[in-house]
Every structure is written in structure tokens, then in C-alpha cells.
Structure 1
Amino acid sequence: MSTPGSPPAYEGMYSKLLDDEGAYVERNRRPDVGQGAHPVSPVVLALRQRGPGPYRFATICLAALCVVLLISIIAVTVRYSNKPEPDGESNSDPQKQTQDANVTALTAIIMKLREEKKQLQKEKEELQAKLAAMKAPEVIKPTTKAPVVCQTDWRLFNNSCYFISTVQRSWLASQQFCQTKGGHLAIIHTAEEQTFLWNLLPRGHWNSYWFGITDEQTEDQWKWVDGTTLVGGFWEAGEPNNHINEDCGYIVKTRVLERVAIRSWYDAPCSMNLPFICEKEMGAGTT
């Protein structure tokens, strides 16, 4: 293969032929023999006279033509090697059609599933609404009730009517009287209730009134007439002291203004005759 700038291979081969022919003639020529003994070929002589110029030009043109053809062949080969074969294209068409059909079928399935999901969601909401309606408590419309009204000489406080007696009885007889009126000796749980009753009592030297507490069954275990146990209380300081078998409680209100309602309970013998306080629980609208 020739390198850039060097003469073509054909030119070298041609020059070599000429040189070999000349050398052959020179070796076989005798100095003492004339030209007639070994005549030189007319072709060789003509070539020697003309020189290698025209053949060199033809050789260059031929080499250039070969290069152009080689380049053309390479270009055509590369072009057609990248082009997909017709058979391949024809074979891919059925496969593409199959894929398109599969995609269409899957799309239809997805749309159907979405519709079924919407339907199920709607049915679920309807069932939840029915279940909520079944569990909902029945709404009771409020009714307007008449206010509590106490009988004559009875005073109202927190849906209870209270009666302050003016007669004296023992603790047990007082309880029996209150029961005949549909009530019982007063049960006092709060300071507000205690203050309300204490304010109803008149002042005096030693005004005392039975109310519904006793420890007659078990000493120092004070209980209300409904059987519940006393919690706390509004005893005077040092009370209850059970001085002489004192098993029943009473409230005292005197002329001493320093005395207060929340420290006014004492204990005394249940047989003493004292006025008393009755209580009767009232529902709304009860007379």
C-alpha cells in the first residue's frame, strides 16, 4: 500500500521492469561483438526513448479511480446495513397489531372496573347511611313543663319543698309527720341548701329544729333518713359530742349574729321535743 506523497505502486513496478530489461541487455552485450549479434528489442528501445511519463499518469488515474470506487462501495454498504430488512418490517406488523389489541382490551377492562368501583362505593354509602339511621337515638322533643309549685307554708329550693313546723315533737314523731305529708325530715347536702334553710328559721334564745340525720343504729356513724351515709356536714366546733346519749341532729339559730349557717349543727337525745324541718322532692310541674 502506497503512503501519501510516494509514487504509486504501479509506477514502481513499471520502472523495475524497465531497469531489469536494461540490465539484462547490458549483461548479455559483449564488447567485441557488434549490435547484430544480440540486437536490442525495439519495444525496449522505444520505451527507453519515451521514458515513464505517460504510464505514470495513467497509473495515477487508475489508482484514483480505484479509490473512488472503494469509497463508493463502503458508503453503499454502510447505508444498506443500517436500513431494516423488508422481511423484518413485514414480520413486525402482526406483532404490533397484537400488542395494540391487547392494550385496547386492557383499557376496556380498566374502564369496566372503574364503573364497578363507583357502583360499589355508592352502595357502601347507602348502607352506611342506613346503619347510622338505625344506631341514631330517638330524638325526644322537649316538652314545656310547668314550674314546680309548693303547697301553702312550704318553701321551694332546687325542686324540693321545705316546711318549717311551729309545733314540737320528738325526732321520730317529726319524721312520721313529714312522711304523712309525702316527705321526710330534711336531708342537707350542700352549703347553699344549708344556708337557705337557716335563713328561714327565726332568731331566738336557742331556736333549734330537727332535721333528718341520726347515729342511733351505730354510734358515730351518722346516716340520713334515706339510709345514705353523711359526708362532711356543718357541725358546730366540738360537735357532735354525744354528751348524754345524743343520737339525733338539729340546727340552732340564736340572736348572736356572729353565728353562721355552716356551723350550726348539734346532736341531742332523740326523745327531746323540738320543732322540725320537712322536705318533699318535687318533679317539674308537680304541685
Structure 2
Amino acid sequence: MNCLSICFLLAFLSLFNCEQRGIYYSELIKNETISSLAMFYDDAATALLCGVKCFNDNCCAHFLYDKTSKKCLGLYSFEKSAISFSQIPGLSDKTEQYRKGCDFDWIEFKGHCYFYGQQQVTWPEAKLECQKKCSYLVEIEDKEESAWLALMFLDKSDCPTSLYKNCTAWTGGNDLDIEGKYVWDNSNTSFVFTNWYKFVPSHGDIRDCIDILKNGEWNDRPCSHLNHFICEK
């Protein structure tokens, strides 16, 4: 092997090792079935290399790997369905399933990944920023999640005393379509849990978009207000 080949090999191994350290995934229960948007469908020598492909694709959330056929399938999401792995060319019932962990600048909580947008933007702009990251404006399911979001992203030592200034962030909540009927933007589902700040929501005006305050409670604002934001996926 000449010097050039050795240098190339060392460079490749160095890159591979860096990628390997950045991959976090856990094996899911086998023999589940899937119905999802495929991000890629390719060959990979090992499950680790399949994981590298998934890690390098921002929209990949899960991947499947068949050791026999060396087929690697990256998925945008993972859902149960009536589809069997054997119906997908190159995959079998022995296909291994993996979930990619959160990216470096995301934080995991109860199986979901969250990103805090430092820039201050309008609600439509925040929605677009989350979509660019293959995610959506956060949808809050219970008081524990609301409190965790505030503690993790908003309740900071440099926050002013007022709940309404600087340390607030857009969520996906809104009543843009029907006044007073609040839904989560991505799932288009009505609120099951609410955590309103006192005297809100305000009906009959243009305060159609919801942000979360540093104490975990919610406030409605004009969607044109400039705010930080939280993405979820």
C-alpha cells in the first residue's frame, strides 16, 4: 500500500470515527410494522453505516437494517400499520429497527427532541424555521412538559422580573381558524391540557398565537409579535 493510499485510509477512518461518536440510537422492539415516509433506501455494509446515513440526514428519525440483504431504510417517522417488512424489497421479518437520538443542539424529554430558537421572529416565521429542521412548533401535552420546557429554556438567571419580556417562546398553539377554538398547529388537534396565565386567553382581538412564559404558563399574543420559539420532533 503506497503512502497516498495509507493517508486516504487514515483520513477515512478518522472521519468514520467522528461520525460514529455522534450517533445515538437504540434498538426498538423487533417485528413491529411500519408506515412512514422513507428518507432513503440504500445498501450499507453494517448497521452502524446505516446509522451514519440516518444521522447525516436531518429528517431521518428511524432506520431499518437487514443484515442478510445489507439493505438500509431511513424513515421520517415510525408508526404501526398493517405493512410487513417482508413486503419491502430487501427487508425481512428479521430486519432490525433503530431510533436515532436527538441531534447535538436538541434536548430529549420523554422520547421527543426539543430545540430552542434564540432569534426573535413572528409566529409564521417560527413555524417555518421549525419546518426547515423537519420539526414543528412545540405541542404541550401536560403540566410536566410545560414546566420542563420553562425550566430548560426560559427560566434563566438573566431573565427580567416580568413574565412577558424576553424569556418567552412561541408554541404551536393558536386559534387562527376559529376564534376561541385553540388547536395545535402540526397535529390540528384541540387542547386536552391547558396552562393559561391569569386573565388569558383574550377573545375578540388579534391575539391568536400562544407562547409559553418562563413559569410554564401560557399567554396569547398577536402572531406578528417577535418571540423566541421551541421546535419539537
Bigger radius of gyration among the two? 1
Percentage identity across paired residues of the two chains = 31
TM-score w.r.t. length of structure 1: 0.43
Matched, 1:227 2:180: no
Matched, 1:275 2:218: no
Among residues 249, 252, 277, which one is paired with 2:210 in the alignment?
249
Among residues 135, 144, 147, which one is paired with 1:183 in the alignment?
135
2-structure distance, mates of 1:219, 1:186: 21
Could you tell me how far 1:231 is from its partner in structure 2? 2.3
Give the number of aligned pairs.
Answer: 133
1-structure distance, mates of 2:119, 2:229: 8
- Contact kept in structure 1, 2:170 and 2:211, CA below 8 Å: yes
Among residues 176, 183, 195, which one is paired with 2:147 in the alignment?
195
TM-score w.r.t. length of structure 2: 0.52
- Contact kept in structure 1, 2:183 and 2:189, CA below 8 Å: yes
- Contact kept in structure 1, 2:142 and 2:193, CA below 8 Å: no
User: Would you tell me which structure has more helix in proportion to its own residues?
Assistant: 1
2-structure distance, mates of 1:158, 1:182: 19
Deviations 1:167-222 (A, max 9, x none): 01110110011011111000111122112211112331221100001001111000
1-structure distance, mates of 2:94, 2:143: 32
1-structure distance, mates of 2:120, 2:232: 17
User: Would you tell me which structure has more strand in proportion to its own residues?
Assistant: 2
2-structure distance, mates of 1:145, 1:171: 36
- Contact kept in structure 2, 1:185 and 1:276, CA below 8 Å: yes
- Relative distance call for 1:156 and 1:215 in structure 2 (3 A) is same
2-structure distance, mates of 1:238, 1:197: 22
Match of 1:122 in 2: none
Could you tell me how far 1:149 is from its partner in structure 2? 1.2
Among residues 141, 163, 168, which one is paired with 1:208 in the alignment?
168
Runs of 4+ with >2 A deviation: 141-148
Could you tell me how far 1:244 is from its partner in structure 2? 4.5
